[in-house]
C-alpha cells in the first residue's frame, strides 16, 4: 500500500505512521534475516485498534472526504474486479461519447447484465479526460441508451454512482443537461427490468439521480448522497463555502442517515479504514450485495418492477398534515 502524502487525509496520518513503521520492520527483517514477528504483530494490533477508534468516530465531513479519497476504487475498478467478463460500449448515437459516463455489457456472477456508472480520474490528465466524474448531456443519453438495450434483451441493470454533480458548463446547458437528466428519470421509472444502483463514492445532486432511479438503491459504508455538495450548500446558506463541515452535518449526507430516512435500502460494509485500504474485499462485498438484490427482484414481473420503483420514490419524503387539535 502506497503512502503518498498527497493522498493521506488528516485523520489517516497516525494510521499511516504505523503502516510505515510496519513496512520498515518487515523490510529490515527480510534484509537481515531477523525474527521480528512479535514486534510486527504488536504494531499491527495497535494499528487495528487505532483504525477502529478513528472510524467509529468519523464525522459527516470526514466521510465526505473518504468518499472523495483519491485512492478509492472507481466504477471501472469495481467492474474489473467484480465481472467475469465485460465489454464497454460508447457513444449516445446523437452527439458524442462522454468519458465521465461509462457503461457496457458484462457477466456478473454468471448473470448477463448491463452496467452504467460515472468514472473519475486518478491524476490531473485523467481527471480532465473524465471531466472529474461530471457527466454531460451525452453521458446521460448514453446511459439511457444502454438501459433501453438492457430492457430490450431483458437483462438486469447495475448502476454505480460516483459524481460530485452533473456538468454545468455552457456547452452542457446549450445541449440540454436538465432535459437529459429529467428524461432519464422519467424513462427509468418505467423500465421493465430489475435496476440496482449503488453509491460507491459521491452521490451528488441531479448528477446522481439521473442514473439512480432504481428498484433498490444501496450505499457503500463511507459514501455520501445529497442534493448538493457540502461546499455548495455552505455557499448558499452562509455565503461561505469553507463551512462545508457544517453543511455536511446539516445535509444528513452519510449512509446511516440515508438509511434512516428511507432514501436507500442497504449499507454495504467496507474494510476497516475504507475501501481504498483493501479494494478486493470491498469489491467482494459489493458484488455479493448486488447479486442478492438482483435475485430478489427477479421474482417480480415486469409490471411489478415498474410499479415497485414508482412507489419507492413516491414514498420518499412523505408527510402528513396534522389537523388542528391533534
Assign residue 70 the CATH number of its domain: 3.90.226.10
**Domain end call among 57, 76, 97:** 57
Mapped onto helix, strand or coil, the DSSP state of residue 159 is strand
141 and 26, same structural domain?
no
- Per residue of the chain (326 residues), give pLDDT as tens: 444 555 788 888 889 888 888 888 888 887 777 777 787 888 888 888 888 899 988 999 999 999 999 999 999 999 999 999 999 999 999 999 999 999 999 999 999 999 999 999 999 999 999 999 999 999 999 999 999 999 999 999 999 999 999 999 999 999 999 999 999 999 999 999 999 999 999 999 899 999 999 999 999 999 999 999 999 999 999 999 899 999 999 999 999 999 999 999 999 999 989 999 999 999 999 999 999 999 999 999 999 999 999 999 998 887 778 777 76
User: How many CB atoms within 10 Å of residue 180?
Assistant: 25
Q: How far is CA 239 from the centre of its chain?
A: 28
- On whether residue 36 sits in a domain, the answer given is yes
99 and 18, same structural domain?
no
Distances (CA, A) of 259 to 40, 72, 245, 256: 39, 22, 21, 5
40 and 114, same structural domain?
no
Largest distance between two CA atoms of the chain? 81
Q: How many domains does the chain have?
A: 2
Domain that holds residue 10: 5-57
110 and 26, same structural domain?
no
Contacts for 231 with CB less than 8 Å, ≥ 6 apart = 241, 242, 244, 247
184 and 267, same structural domain?
yes
124 and 19, same structural domain?
no
302 and 234, same structural domain?
yes
Which residues are registered as beta bridge partners of 158?
115, 196
- On whether residue 167 sits in a domain, the answer given is yes
pTM above 0.75, yes or no: yes
- On whether residue 324 sits in a domain, the answer given is no
Task: List, as one string, the DSSP characters of 207-228.
Answer: HHHTT---SEEEEETT-EEESS
- On whether residue 309 sits in a domain, the answer given is yes
- On whether residue 117 sits in a domain, the answer given is yes
190 and 84, same structural domain?
yes
Amino acid at each position: 500500500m502506497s503512502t503518498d502524502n498527497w493522498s493521506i487525509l488528516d485523520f489517516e496520518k497516525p494510521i499511516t505512521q504505523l503502516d510505515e513503521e510496519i513496512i520498515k520492520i518487515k523490510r529490515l527483517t527480510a534484509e537481515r534475516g531477523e525474527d521480528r514477528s512479535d514486534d510486527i504483530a504488536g504494531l499491527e494490533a495497535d494499528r487495528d485498534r487505532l483504525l477502529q477508534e478513528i472510524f467509529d468516530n468519523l464525522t459527516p465531513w470526514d466521510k465526505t472526504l473518504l468518499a472523495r479519497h483519491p485512492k478509492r476504487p472507481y466504477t471501472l475498478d469495481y467492474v474489473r474486479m467484480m465481472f467475469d467478463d465485460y465489454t464497454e460500449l460508447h457513444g449516445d448515437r446523437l452527439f458524442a461519447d462522454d468519458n465521465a459516463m461509462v457503461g457496457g455489457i458484462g457477466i456478473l456472477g454468471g448473470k448477463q447484465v448491463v452496467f452504467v456508472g460515472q468514472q473519475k480520474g486518478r491524476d490531473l490528465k485523467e481527471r480532465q479526460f473524465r471531466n472529474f466524474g461530471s457527466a454531460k448531456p451525452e453521458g446521460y443519453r448514453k446511459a439511457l441508451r444502454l438501459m433501453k438495450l438492457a430492457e430490450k434483451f431483458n437483462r438486469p441493470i447495475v448502476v454505480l454512482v460516483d459524481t460530485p454533480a452533473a456538468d454545468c458548463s455552457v456547452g452542457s446547458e446549450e445541449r440540454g443537461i436538465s432535459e437529459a437528466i429529467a428524461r432519464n428519470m422519467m424513462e427509468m421509472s418505467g423500465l421493465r427490468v430489475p435496476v440496482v444502483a449503488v453509491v460507491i463514492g459521491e452521490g451528488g445532486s441531479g448528477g446522481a439521480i439521473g442514473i439512480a432511479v432504481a428498484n433498490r438503491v444501496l450505499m457503500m459504508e463511507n459514501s455520501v448522497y445529497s442534493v448538493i455538495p457540502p461546499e455548495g450548500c455552505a455557499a448558499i446558506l452562509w455565503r461561505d463555502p469553507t463551512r462545508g463541515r457544517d453543511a455536511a452535518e446539516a445535509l444528513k449526507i452519510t449512509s446511516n442517515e440515508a438509511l434512516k430516512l428511507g432514501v436507500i435500502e442497504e449499507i454495504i460494509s467496507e474494510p476497516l479504514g475504507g475501501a481504498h485500504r483493501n479494494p478486493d474485499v470491498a469489491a467482494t462485498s459489493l458484488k455479493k450485495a448486488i447479486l442478492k438484490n438482483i435475485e430478489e427482484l427477479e421474482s417480480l414481473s415486469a409490471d411489478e418492477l415498474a410499479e415497485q420503483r414508482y412507489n419507492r420514490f413516491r414514498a420518499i419524503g412523505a408527510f402528513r398534515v396534522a389537523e388542528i387539535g391533534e
